[in-house]
Structure 1
């Protein structure tokens, strides 16, 4: 049986550790080394709290960060500070997922030129009208090097992408490149109506 708990009790009572070690024939260095390797109450609480945080994080499919984990634990009756949870999450390598801020690519034109809607809001497929009505738009894709803008041209009748282009900007020439690609690909025999949203693309 180890005598270290007895020495620890003597220390807590305010008695001399040196004298207790001499009486019990124990090395003071060995006592302090064992004492340093034994986790204290705070470390034990941190370990238990980390297990609870890990469970909450797993239940959220890895989406909860410190604020929401703190709210869940508080609801479940665990009293702890949010900063403590943040510290333990960092130590355990846990992090929440942040919703990506929406990247705005276009702004409405406050004074748009009036253009007739030649499509008449009819976007139904029609195998007999292939190559007569196209529509298009610009979307954006996050990459390691920044935003990549993609302009597409779709044949309304067939729902097929007939032209597309990419660039590091959403300017007019991107749409023009997509239209040129569609014309090169399809080589329409007659006039084609191109329908798009009314907006000014940011430079």
Structure 2
């Protein structure tokens, strides 16, 4: 697993990189957000650890940029303990939040927890889906889904965090990051066609939930879970 660390304090970065590598991870460190964006164009990362208070691009803005067109779990680091900032970090899609000073061993443990939760290739028992991220294929109730690029991106984003409500803005950033002229109504249109394809496989189930004014989630369903284990 390849971890991207973006931290402008070299002393902290050296300690974190050492802890990650000692625990078996590959780790790359950038001092600035711009360096991280340049590196992310040529390297694949499985998770990013981002300092919120970077000198050039704030950690929250950097998170949005790194996630354009890709699924990337993110853990935020900050020297601040303000509740509002922690909530903002989680609301924009952060997977965890660590306040400085912190234990490097605890951070590594949190990285492992997030990666286990986000592991794409494992069957998602609660929803009856199996996601082959490398092949960009999703199977539902043992049937391979015939998905367009954006339908695949939507379902992959929802599968990454079962039960979590993802706003239209979050989905736009993750799926349509390279199509700046698209509107958030595009999400609704593709959710509709995606639902139709899922109903073709399982007319009795509707795993995608609409949360009025908030967004969409992929919910657990007992019938679907049973199918996943057959």
- Please report the TM-score for the alignment, with normalisation by the length of structure 1: 0.21
Compare relative contact order (CA 8 Å, sep 6+) and give the higher one, 1 or 2: 2
- Please report the TM-score for the alignment, with normalisation by the length of structure 2: 0.19
